[in-house]
Amino acid sequence: MKNYKLIFSFIIVLISLYSCQQDNYVFDGDDTDVTDPENTELSGFYVLNEGNYGTNSASLDFMDLENGVYKSDIYATANPTIVKELGDTGNDVKIYGSKMYAIINGSNIIEVMNAKTAKHLATISLDNGRYIKFANGKAYATSYAPISTDISSSNGKVVEIDTLTLAITRELEVGRQPDGLEIVGNELFVANSGGYTTTNDYENTVSVIDLSSFVETSKIEVGINLNQIEKDSDNDLYISSRGNYSDVSSNLYVIDSQSHQVKKTFNLPISNFTIDNNQLYYYSYSYVTSSATYGLINTKTETVTSSDFITDSNVKDIVSPYSISVNPISKDIYITDAGNYTSSGYLYSFDKNGVYKTKVATGIIPGHIAFLYK
């Protein structure tokens, strides 16, 4: 009898261990061996593929750094009882606490998942959501809604979401078609684009919002058709503009977050950037020459330290660079390639010195990366 009790207890322990493993490890999927396993603080990172607009083809991949394996289209395998597709047009993905938030703007939702397993937790309705940031247990997301080309009636909004209840608690009208956003202290900075206007009358302001009152306290005039915004270690804000795709080029500006003044204009046609450890990594893509250059800016000195820091010949294989990210531990550089924008793209990795490491196929239009810590 005692032996049966021991065996039964052992089985219970095994079931418990298996359950824990199921909660802590990521799903099965189409695996591609990419690189040697890495022993770092990161489990890996997610890649949100935008998919083609109107085709419900947004998808989620996972680069498993612990095993050196790339797992494709893992949302369906993590959620077998849910409709296979993630939705229409993935626009941003971030991890905060134990949850992962993917903005699927064509489907008008924020998909909330378990950060370790990508299992569905909830869906938050948000018309044409764009980007998301977090602070003090709250999520803040931009929305283009209502969508209109009429500049007199098309202001977008920012919503505040409680990350425990996942309820929208407050919302505020800002400028037309707000995109990137950043938080410094008790202020939220929102980049207004006006990108849907047909009269070439783009927005050129950053909305400043007091988070206590959730009131817009001022607007900072910067450049037209604003897009990304990120803070550096000194809480200066780097913000990019897309220009008007004609005689006004894209650009990069620096805003003093305390004085709310533009302190520097780089006069660089920057397409996309990211900041890590006082380094701003960017690329500039020319549609005229169909080529890209990859540069570095020291955010402490606010100077360009390299305008061509990736010289490895493999970088020339990138057809349509779409985003750039930096591994916070290894400092490896990841560049996504949208290719022809209709079929599978690619994820390229280079080491911190710009030397080519790997390339792997992704979903359609890989555009956004979220790092997962162990």
* H or E segment and range at residue 11: helix 2-24
Give the pLDDT of residue 13: 37
- pLDDT > 90 fraction of the chain, expressed in percent and rounded: 83
| Contact between residue 185 and residue 205 where contact means Cβ atoms under 8 Å apart | no
Between the CA of residue 147 and those of 106, 194, 238, 281, what are the distances in Å? 12, 10, 27, 32
Averaged pLDDT of the chain? 91
Give the pLDDT of residue 29: 55
Which own/partner contact pairs does 332-337 have at CB distance under 8 Å and 24+ positions apart? 332/357, 333/281, 334/45, 334/369, 335/283, 335/294, 336/47, 336/362, 336/366, 336/367, 336/369, 337/366
Is 2's pLDDT higher than 50?
Answer: no
Q: How many residues does the chain have?
A: 374
Assigned token pair, 360: 């792997």
Position 289 confidence tier, pLDDT thresholds 50, 70, 90:
confident
Written as one string, the DSSP assignment of 208-238 is: EEETTTTEEEEEEE--SSEEEEEE-TT-EEE
Position 122 confidence tier, pLDDT thresholds 50, 70, 90:
very high
Residue 126 CA to residue 30 CA, distance in Å, equals 31
